[in-house]
A = this chain, B = another copy of it.
Amino acid sequence: MPYPHPVLLLCAALLMPACTAPRGGELRNTLISVSDNVRVDHWRTDQQRSGVGGAPWSVTKRTLHGGRQEGVDLIEVDNGVLRFTVIPTRGMSIGQVVAGDVRLGWDSPVREVVHPRHVDLQDHGGLGWLTGFNEWLTRCGVAFAGHPGEDNERLLTLHGRIGNIPASEVEVVIDTAPPHRIRVRGRVDEQMFKFADFELWTEVSTVPGSDALRIEDRLVNRSSYKREYQVIYHTNFGPPLLEAGARFVAPADMIAPFDAYAAKDLDSWRGYLGPTRDYGEQVYCVTPQDDGSGRTLVMLRNAAADRGVAIRYRTDTLPKFTLWKNTDTAEEGYVTGLEPGTGFPYNRSVERTAGRVPTLEPGAEVTFALDYRVLRDAATVEATRVEIEKIQGYRGTKVSRTPPRN
């Protein structure tokens, strides 16, 4: 029998501590692989089993059941301080991050981890993406992102396909040398004959005992033609960070409202209301300042300024930033999105005209790097504010009263 039987593999997985294979200073575990024809249903490793690291940590792979989440793969990482879930079935999105009393994430009316087979992106005039939207971090893209609408006479659906494509290769890698970084890697392919051949290599990683996680993604254009791409890191925050009096802090070179409704409240764009009936959403288009070395730092902090989240990221590949303020009622999803991106979330046809759609040469790649840190006390929040202020320096913020679209 040339192919190992999946049930036997399953049983083996139950009996053995972990299918880890040491390889050049790392423990590497393949959980899903098209190349090896493998999908592990259930698996776990931790500090004790692996013998790696001094502080307790664990990584668990399991499978979700019932409703629209039947068959969804889930990876849970606990670094001793932070816990978060990675969802291979949904393009390596990240469900929630919890660190003590701080939670990164939000409460969407979509309460299941929806399998892409139950998401019809064409639904409701191209808004079907909203029937699966509830993650802390979901990537929009990569052939297109942003609002639905026709581009070259073809309907582009909201925020593209990548968040609803299951990962083809998924592995968990633990560095055997300190600080024993835990890496969850997944390759998500967006392929369409004659139109797209993108490989998105995602990595989310964390160091045991730390309050931070790092995204390092690499997008490769495998086509032999130059291709446009769009990427938005749609990271979403509800309570406890989001509340009346919470504040967005960023070194802004330029700020503009997304539309007339956002223009109305432009002067208070950095502040937040509590849950507000009929608020809907206000969106602001930000061009951040960088620190001179192509990096920037932004923060969302709570009203008391003693909890927050900081995003330190590279602006060379993610030059634009969208602040999505959706401080509607709790039931509707009280949430704000901090969204570094290649552009703003207009339809690709609009973004192209505005010169905000980058391209990749044949075989070329681009990397995206973002460090998210949970800020757990007033001192860290204040230190972050000071650092942001330093990046802003004496440069003012240009304010446009009109949306950055033609």
Contact = CB atoms under 8 A, between A and B. Distances in A.
Interface of A: 1-3, 5-7, 10-11, 14, 32-39, 41-42, 44, 60, 62-71, 108-112, 116-118, 120-125, 127, 130-131, 133-134, 153-155, 157, 161, 165-169, 189, 191-197, 222-225, 277, 328-333, 362
A67 B32 contact: yes
Majority-rule SS of A interface residues: loop
Contact of A67 (B122, B130, B168): B168
Nearest to A154: B125
Contact of A39 (B6, B70, B157, B193): B70
Contact of A37 (B39, B66, B332): B66
A88 to B, nearest CB: 9
Contacts of A39: 65-66, 70
A117 B70 CA distance: 12
Contacts of A193: 108-110, 130-131, 133-134, 333
A38 to B, nearest CB: 6
Contact of A222 (B32, B38, B63, B331): B331
Nearest to A38: B65
A37 B74 CA distance: 12
A67 B189 contact: yes
Given A66-B169, A67-B166, A121 B120 contact: yes
Contact of A34 (B66, B161, B332, B333): B66
Contacts of A62: 3, 37
B131 A191 contact: yes
A66 B224 contact: no
A194 B130 contact: yes
Given A2-B60, A39-B66, A116-B118, A224 B189 contact: no
Given A60-B3, A222-B109, A332-B225, A195 B130 contact: yes
10 contacts: A3-B42, A3-B60, A6-B42, A67-B166, A70-B71, A109-B191, A109-B192, A109-B222, A125-B153, A194-B333
Nearest to A168: B67
Contact of A68 (B11, B124, B168, B362): B168
B67 A112 contact: no
A336 to B, nearest CB: 14
A161 to B, nearest CB: 8
A120 B39 CA distance: 23
A118 B167 CA distance: 12
A193 B119 CA distance: 12
